[in-house]
Every structure is written in structure tokens, then in C-alpha cells.
A and B are shown apart, each in its own frame.
Chain A
Amino acid sequence: MRTKEIGPDEMAPIQGGDCGQGPALLAGLARLTRIEWKWVIIGACVAVTVYLALVPLIYLLWQSFFTPQTAAKAAEFTFGNYVGAYASPDTVKLMANSLEFGLGTAAFSFLLGTSLAWMNERTNAPLKSMFFALSLVPLVIPGVLFTVSWIMLGSTKIGLINLALHRWFGVEAAPINVYSMGGMIWVDGLHYSPMAFLLMSAAFRAMDPSLEESAMMSGASVRQVLWRITLRLSWPAVFATFLILFVRAIESFEVPALLGLPAGIEVFTSSIYEAIHHYPSQVGLASAYAMSLLLLTCAGTWFVSRLSASGSKYATMTGKGFRPRQIDLGAWRWPLAGVFVVYFLLILVLPLGVLLWSSLQHYYAVPSAAALKHLTLDPYRFVLHYPNLWHSVWNSLLLSFGAATAIMLMTAVICWIVVKTKFPGRWLLDNLSSLPMVFPGLVLGLSVMIFYLHVDIGVYGTLWILFIAYVTRFMPYGLRFNTTSMLQIHKELEESSAMSGASWSTTFFRVVLPLLKPGLISGWIYIMIVSIRELSSSILLYSPGNEVISIVIWEFWENGQYVELSALAVLFILMLLALVMGFQLLARRFGIKEN
């Protein structure tokens, strides 16, 4: 439907009123109630979206110009926060660290992901089919657990790799140290390499293989084809992927907090956390840092969107499903298969192995024959009887279920307005609801915290504040999933419903929503998973009694309860994998049937 068809309803009561007779009047009234429903639904969704996207952000900007409010003194206007944040020489260091970490991580995960994607899509390397399925698993593992497991592997004191090198090769000084910039880049880059792999795989798959084949026929070697044709043609995808990875790395919280802070390497996210968590908390300073971080992510996201807008220049990427010709690696097949194996060792087997090992110990101990004798299930017993555990599991499930459901229904309406109507200003609505995409989790947490601390409507210190943060943060994903589906619904499907006599809300609930189902369900599942893992917003918003699972893990780490943390980690990862598999069954039953 379009505005032109929405407009009619406004006028309908006038027409009903004209008749002035009993039945006509009744019909007019009935029509009026129906119209009201439509506008109530649309109005509520738009209002909530705009509120969620804008209000905390504006408040954050506002607060960054004020001194902290104390019992003795009211807040005053000041540039002090920005002066404090930027005048100090530490800030140059902070900026440099952030950029080094962001660029390094992006470059590392990009190189890793792209080479794996090329091997997987374009060569006949063995073990490929297994690789694609396994590459999704690391994305399910929460960042905090991946980081912790790499501390257990690569710290100078307790790191298993260092100890193994020492024992077997007699290396004296620990050669590997994750508490360093290199270590941070290694861990974060490794964790997000599957993301690069998936994005670049899609790019390689969308390319017409005849473009490569004609280069081959012109006499180019495998390397020349890769460098001169494949990568050049994928250039928009290459650049976009790199930027996405950069923005994500800049927002990353777990690695800078767990690895960077002990080593004295601060980036924006960890500085924000420090500013809030030191007594007295410096909200203004944190806001000033948050604004700079926001500028960085905005710039990155803006470039990505510009890039995809100008993508039509590369019309060779048709998006059709081709069956690409595969390059024969010959004798190199098996060494390259070895690369896959080593990669999985590093990203999956070693991290999960070390967590499993330490979850079976009384105290954290290095694997040895002696330690093997002391295996125990005590950490699991401790975790399962931990007073806060079941409560936090319930909170996590409740929050992610609620957030996913609310987001998908709300964005369905928003996306209907954006895609199907010609409302003036609908592009603004689209951009507003995508805006939270650029909020780093920590910045969003900060702005929501400050806003509801000052504007007391009774949500601060309850689960609701987490719910608000989750809905805001993951709203853009819901919109994307719904938009993809909505674009496939021909407008005549709605028009024929109107011609059959259905009102707007009947059409929306009985035609649009059922047709959106594939997008609704996959978006819902995605948001469920990411909200269960959420840490960086929750860490500023939780209060005792309202913990979620990731917070309990964080608390274990802060208390040094490593074996208990490992036990919880193993259970958590198992639960996430079970959820993912359950959801896939669900999607197959409901979502895919219609395609």
C-alpha cells in the first residue's frame, strides 16, 4: 500500500457522516475504530523507534558538557570533560592505541578470513565441506570466554603454550604474551576471522566465474588471476568488509578490558569502562570518550554505506548463484588442508579444550600426568548450586526472548512504512532505526544508564533497563532481516487483500506478517543468540539481583574463580550450541517451507 491508499481512511468518516442515517452512522463508527487501530499501531511503533534511537544519544551528548552531580553541588556546564579528555598527552596515546588495535585487528582477521574464503570457494582443497559448517561455531562463542581461554593458553605465567614450549623445547623466556598489543590483535582478530570469512565467501560466490576463466584463457597464472581479477572485482566487498571489521574492533570491549587493562594498554572502550568503574565515577569524562568513539564508528559506517550505494559500478557482480570453476591446487592440496586444521586448532580446539580441562580441576593447573589424577566435577557442582546462576539464566532467556519478539514485531511495522509506503520522511525513519548500529555496546550502555539515572521513571536498577538497551542495540538487525523479506512481498498481495474487503490491520496481520515469516524467524533467532551473549551494554546496566549469564561469568573472572568460570563456560557454550541447533530445526519447519 502507498500513502495514496492510506490517505483514503482519513476521509472515510466524512463520507460516513454525510449519510447521517442510523446504519450508515454505525458503519462510519465501525470504520473509525478500525482506522484508529491502524494509526495507533503505526504511531506507537514510530514513536518508540524514534525515542529509543535518539533520546539517550542526545542526553549523552548533553551530559558530556556537564560536571558530575554530587550531593553538595549541582551539575554545571563545562568544557572540562573534553579538555580533560583531549588536553592530556595520554589521549594521543589512547587514540593511537585505538587505531592500532582497530586497524591491526581488522587487517589480521581480514587476511585470515579472505585467504580461507578463497581456498574454500575457489580451490579444490580437501575438508572444505566440513570447514564451512565449523566456521560458524566460533561466532557463537561469547567474546569474554574466547578471551579468557586465550589467557589460559597464552599468558606468560600460566599459558599452556608457553609451558609446553618450555617443557618440550626448553624455551626459557615465555615467547608468547597475550597481555600485549600483539596479543590483543591476535585474540580479537582470530575470534572475528569467521566474520571476514563469511563476508568474503559471499563476495567470491557472487562473482561471475567466466570473468576469471577468460583471464585464465588469456594466459594468466593462478596468482595473476587472483591478484588482477578476483581481488580487483571484489574490491567493493574487500573495502566494505575491512571497514566493518574495523568498526567492530573499535567497539570491542572484552579483549581491551581483559588483556589491555592489565598491560596498561588503554583504548576508548576500556577507558570508558575505567572512567565509570573508578570511584568517583567520571560520567562526563566517559561521555566525552564515548563521543569520540561514536565519531569513529559513524565515519566507518558512513563509508560502508557510501560504498554499497556506489556498488552498481561493479555490475559484474550480479548476485546470481554461479557454480564457480575451482582452481586445481595439485600437490598443494594437502599442505593447504593443513592450514584448515591448524586454524581450527587455534580457534576452536585449543580454546574449548583448555576451558574443558580447567573445568575439571580443583585449582587451575597445567595439564600433566599428576593433574590428570585429580580430575573432579566439583566446579560443575559449585556452578550448578551457585545461588545466582538459575536466576541469571532465567533473566538472560527472558530478556533475549522479550527483546527478540518486541524488535521483530516493531521493526515489521517500521519496515512496512519504509518499504511499502510513500510517506514523506520515511527515509529518515529508516536511518533513525538503523542508527543504533553505530553505537558501540558500551556507549549505548552508558547513554541508557545516564538517561535513566537522571530521568527517573522507575526502570533504573530493574530488568527493564537491560530490555530497553537490548531492544535499542539490536533493532537495526531486526530491521535488516525484515526488510529483506518485505522487499520480496509484491504490493499486489496487499492490494488484493484490500480489494477483498480487508482493513489495514487485517491485511497486516493475516497477509503481511505471515509472508514475512522467513525473515521474522531468522531475525528473531539471530537476536536471541546475540542478546544472550551480550556483555558490553549489560556491564554498565546490571544491578545485584538482575545479573545475566555473561555478567556472572564476568564476576567469576574478577573474583579469580577460574575453574568455576571454566565449568560455567562449558555449560554456557553447550547451551548456546543447543539453542542454535534447536533454532535451526525451528527455522526449517517454519521459515524455509515457503521459499
Chain B
Amino acid sequence: MLKVDALCTEYKNEQGQAVRAAHDVSFDIAEGEFFTLLGPSGCGKTTTLRSIAGLERPKSGQIRVGGTVVFDGAKKVFVAPNQRGFGMVFQSYAIWPHMNVYENAAFPLRVNRRLRLPKLQEEQKVMRVLKAVQLDHLRQRQATQLSGGQQQRLALARALVMEPKLLLLDEPLSNLDAKLREAMRFELKRLQRELGITTVYVTHDQGEALAMSHQIAVMSQGQIQQLGSPRDIYERPRNRFVADFVGATNFLDGRVLAPAGDGLYTLQTEIGPLRAGAVEPLRAGDTAILSIRPEELRLSEQRPEGEALQATLEQKIFLGEAVDVRIRIGGRTLLSRAHPSLRIHVGQPVWVTIDPRQSVAMRAEAALAA
């Protein structure tokens, strides 16, 4: 449906130097898919989205939507943003303060010659989208009198009213408070499912990305670091940046000793020999980094069966649904997340089990890539 190929976008900073905002970005999105560009601020995710929208002019590469080329650097094709017919929700919502709710939502139908409708049909169509975002009872309200959540839904309605081939969302939830964000997350996902509309979503919030997407592209420094399903990204990060940015993790330096069969490897680490899985094949002797999620460090008072490490509990923070625990093994302090029922006190010894399938070893070069 949307195919982005070797996209490069630069812009000039205040000193007039060219800054590379997106570099060699390629991905492919299937019809009806929810695709997320995830990364910290300045990673190029918004630039990539704006290039798809046509609000930035890329330097090279190709963007095609459903068989139509909307940008081709080599053939000098550039379709203006107002000719592309994509719906977009901006971070600030960009609700026009001089129009009321209905006028805002009807604007795309009124300015597009090919979308212009007789009054009655226009009204039916606008009211249908307003109803879908539950704003139909506020149609006469001035846009300035809407709450943040309502503005956000109106922006969505405006983007959907022209039944776009593609919906672009630029951090639409970042200006909402935590409770509302949670609610809108479900709302957005429900609407996207119901309408089956192909969506590109930009966010810096990994929780949002994991919860909503079919596919995630983790970006850093203008490049895609990893492309995959949420589970893939979380459980099998390809490099240190991805492991670090998506969720919390413990890194351990080590060296590959030997393959342990079944896709596993034995590594000599700071805290002793451990077994772990890997995304890319490793060779004996490679320096590697091991990433273990806090929730994969299982703690128990009694020595469990099988392999276990002994540690000391250093600090305990009660979070409500979980406890965050710092444990010391050898010279290292590691972070673990446990069930609040854990009764061990600070200073007491604790046993740690690590599931090799849930820890990921990556080559040091890959780890440095970010």
C-alpha cells in the first residue's frame, strides 16, 4: 500500500548547514496496517512522516502509495501535499480557531473540487465522522471551547472526512494527560480497525507503539534501527539502542564461548557464564552484549531448581502493581521487576533465575551501531 524506498531528507539549520534528518529510510506497509515510527526526539521520525505527507521535500528516494508515485527524487516527481489526499492529525491538532466544530470537519470537503458535495450530503458525511469520534452533539461549538481530548478527536474527524487512502498521525496523544491518553489509545485503535485504514503513526512513547501497532520501525539518527512486530522489537532487539529505547533493560558485557544448541549460546559475562539467544548468528570469541529485561530476572527466597545465581537485595521501590528491585551480583547492580508479593528485605540474599530464551546476546559492533 505505502512503499517508502531509500528516502533521504535534509533541511537547513540556522547556520545554513544541511542537516540530514532522514537517511536511507525504506519500509513497506500493507493495506489496513497500523505502522509506527518510534524514536527519541530528533531521530527523524517526524521528518519521515512529513516527507510522506509532502510537507517536506525529500532529497532523494521514492514514495509510492497504492501504485501511484507521489515522490521520486530521480524522476523529479513531487505531488503537492494538497493533491495527495492523505488525512493527517498534527501534534498541536491545528484546529482552526475561527471555525466551529462542523466547519472544521467540513473544510476538506469544501476546498477539494473533486470532493465537493451538495449541502445535504455534505452534512450527512460530516455528521457521520463526527459521530464516529463522538462529537456530533457539539457541532455548533466554537473550536476554541473544546477540551484537549475533544480537539484531538475533531482533528481525527477532519482527517477522516475525505476518506483518505492513508492516515498520518504525528504524536497525536502527546499533548493529553495520562488518563485521557490511555483512553484515546483504545479509541484510536478501535477506529483504525473498524475503518481498516492504513495508518502511519509517529510517537516517542514506546508503550503506545507496542500497544497499537502491527509493525514498528525504531529510528535513531535518521535511520531505521529495527523493523518488526512489537513482540519482535521488544523480545529480540537487534542492537543496544533498540533494547535500551524500547523498555528498560540490563546490559552485561561478555564474550561468546560456544554455541549451546537450539539457537542458544554460552557467554562468559561479568556475572559469570550465562546462556542466551541471539538475533544474528554469533561466533565463538566474539565480544558481545547481553540484554536481560528486568522482568526476566526472577527472584526467589529459596534456591530454585536448575541454574540460579546468588545475589544481594540492595534497594526496593514499591510501585503498586510491581516492585522494582536492585540486586547486586558480583560487582554489578542489576534491575529486576518482581511481583509485589516479594517479601525479601533489603540486605538479604536472594536467588536469581534467568530464562536463556528471554535474554538476547548481540555482537558488540551491532551494539555500537547506535
Residues on A with C-beta less than 8 A from B108 are 500-502
Max count, chain A CB within 10 A of own CB: residue among B76, B94, B144: B94
B328, CB-defined interface residue at 8 Å: no
Tell me if B83 and A12 are in contact (CB < 8 A).
yes
Binary contact track A496-521/B, C-beta < 8 Å → 1, others 0: 11111111001000110011010000
Contact of A594 among B79, B84, B98, B112 (CB under 8 A): B98
Tell me if B111 and A31 are in contact (CB < 8 A).
no
Max count, chain A CB within 10 A of own CB: residue among B88, B159, B168: B88
Binary contact track A1-17/B, C-beta < 8 Å → 1, others 0: 00011011101101100
Q: Which residue of B lies closest to A502 (CB)?
A: B111
Q: How far is the CA of A12 from the CA of B54 in the complex (A)?
A: 12
Q: How far is the CA of A523 from the CA of B109 in the complex (A)?
A: 33
Q: How far is the CA of A231 from the CA of B86 in the complex (A)?
A: 56
A492, CB-defined interface residue at 8 Å: yes
Q: Which residue of A lies closest to B53 (CB)?
A: A499
Residues on B with C-beta less than 8 A from A499 are 53, 55, 81-82, 84, 86-88, 159, 168
Contact of A14 among B57, B76, B85, B88 (CB under 8 A): B76
Residues on B with C-beta less than 8 A from A8 are 54, 57, 78-81
Residues on B with C-beta less than 8 A from A14 are 76-77
Contact of B85 among A9, A501, A503, A515 (CB under 8 A): A501
Residues on A with C-beta less than 8 A from B91 are 492
Tell me if A492 and B96 are in contact (CB < 8 A).
no
B115, CB-defined interface residue at 8 Å: yes
Tell me if A493 and B53 are in contact (CB < 8 A).
no
Q: How far is the CA of A8 from the CA of B92 in the complex (A)?
A: 24
Say whether, besides A422-B12, A496-B94, A9 and B111 are in contact (CB < 8 Å). no
Closest CB-CB distance, B179 to chain A, in whole Å? 25
A373, CB-defined interface residue at 8 Å: no
Tell me if B78 and A15 are in contact (CB < 8 A).
yes
Tell me if A496 and B97 are in contact (CB < 8 A).
no
| Range class of the A interface residue count | 20 to 34
Residues on A with C-beta less than 8 A from B85 are 501
Interface residues of B in 300-351 (CB under 8 A from A): none
Tell me if A498 and B55 are in contact (CB < 8 A).
yes
Q: How far is the CA of A497 from the CA of B96 in the complex (A)?
A: 9
Tell me if A4 and B57 are in contact (CB < 8 A).
yes
Interface residues of B in 175-206 (CB under 8 A from A): none
Contact of B83 among A31, A490, A496, A515 (CB under 8 A): A31
B90, CB-defined interface residue at 8 Å: yes
Q: How far is the CA of A503 from the CA of B84 in the complex (A)?
A: 12
B162, CB-defined interface residue at 8 Å: yes
Tell me if A493 and B96 are in contact (CB < 8 A).
yes
Binary contact track B159-179/A, C-beta < 8 Å → 1, others 0: 100100000100000000000
| Range class of the B interface residue count | 35 or more
Q: How far is the CA of A531 from the CA of B98 in the complex (A)?
A: 30
A495, CB-defined interface residue at 8 Å: yes
Residues on A with C-beta less than 8 A from B90 are 492, 495-496
Q: Which residue of A lies closest to B88 (CB)?
A: A499
A18, CB-defined interface residue at 8 Å: yes
Binary contact track B59-100/A, C-beta < 8 Å → 1, others 0: 000000000000000001111111111111011111011100
Say whether, besides A8-B79, A11-B76, A594 and B111 are in contact (CB < 8 Å). no
B240, CB-defined interface residue at 8 Å: no
Interface residues of A in 20-57 (CB under 8 A from B): 30-31
B27, CB-defined interface residue at 8 Å: no
Closest CB-CB distance, A434 to chain B, in whole Å? 22
Closest CB-CB distance, A516 to chain B, in whole Å? 10
B56, CB-defined interface residue at 8 Å: yes
Closest CB-CB distance, A447 to chain B, in whole Å? 36
Tell me if B92 and A490 are in contact (CB < 8 A).
yes
Tell me if A500 and B78 are in contact (CB < 8 A).
no
Q: How far is the CA of A529 from the CA of B331 in the complex (A)?
A: 79
Tell me if B97 and A515 are in contact (CB < 8 A).
yes
Tell me if B77 and A502 are in contact (CB < 8 A).
no
Q: How far is the CA of A493 from the CA of B76 in the complex (A)?
A: 28
Residues on B with C-beta less than 8 A from A492 are 90-94
Q: How far is the CA of A81 from the CA of B155 in the complex (A)?
A: 66
Q: How far is the CA of A499 from the CA of B112 in the complex (A)?
A: 11
Tell me if B81 and A594 are in contact (CB < 8 A).
no
Residues on B with C-beta less than 8 A from A493 are 94, 96
Residues on A with C-beta less than 8 A from B11 are 4
B158, CB-defined interface residue at 8 Å: yes
Tell me if B158 and A500 are in contact (CB < 8 A).
yes
Q: How far is the CA of A48 from the CA of B78 in the complex (A)?
A: 31
Interface residues of B in 5-29 (CB under 8 A from A): 11-12
Q: How far is the CA of A440 from the CA of B105 in the complex (A)?
A: 50
Say whether, besides A493-B94, A497-B107, A510-B111, A11 and B78 are in contact (CB < 8 Å). yes
Q: How far is the CA of A376 from the CA of B246 in the complex (A)?
A: 90
Residues on B with C-beta less than 8 A from A15 are 77-79
Residues on A with C-beta less than 8 A from B92 are 490, 492
Residues on B with C-beta less than 8 A from A514 are 96, 98
Residues on A with C-beta less than 8 A from B86 are 499
Tell me if B57 and A497 are in contact (CB < 8 A).
no
Closest CB-CB distance, B2 to chain A, in whole Å? 16
Tell me if A500 and B79 are in contact (CB < 8 A).
no
Q: How far is the CA of A515 from the CA of B97 in the complex (A)?
A: 8
Residues on B with C-beta less than 8 A from A7 are 57, 78
Q: How far is the CA of A510 from the CA of B110 in the complex (A)?
A: 11
Residues on A with C-beta less than 8 A from B54 are 5, 8, 498
Contact of B94 among A5, A495, A502, A594 (CB under 8 A): A495
Tell me if B56 and A4 are in contact (CB < 8 A).
yes
Q: How far is the CA of A31 from the CA of B107 in the complex (A)?
A: 19
Tell me if B80 and A515 are in contact (CB < 8 A).
no
Residues on A with C-beta less than 8 A from B78 are 7-8, 11-12, 15
Q: How far is the CA of A495 from the CA of B91 in the complex (A)?
A: 12
The interface of chain B, by Cβ under 8 A from chain A, is: 11-12, 53-57, 76-88, 90-94, 96-98, 107-108, 111-113, 115, 144, 155, 158-159, 162, 168
Given contacts A496-B88, A499-B159, list 15 more A-B pairs with CB under 8 A: A8-B57, A493-B96, A495-B53, A497-B107, A498-B55, A499-B55, A499-B168, A500-B108, A500-B111, A502-B82, A502-B111, A503-B111, A515-B97, A517-B98, A594-B98
Top 6 nearest A-B pairs by Cβ distance? A500-B108, A496-B94, A501-B112, A492-B94, A502-B111, A492-B90
User: Can you list 28 A-B pairs, Cβ within 8 angstroms, ordered by A?
Assistant: A4-B11, A4-B56, A5-B56, A5-B57, A5-B80, A7-B78, A12-B80, A14-B76, A30-B113, A490-B92, A490-B94, A492-B94, A496-B96, A497-B82, A497-B111, A499-B81, A499-B87, A500-B107, A500-B112, A500-B158, A501-B83, A501-B85, A501-B111, A502-B108, A503-B82, A511-B96, A594-B97, A594-B98
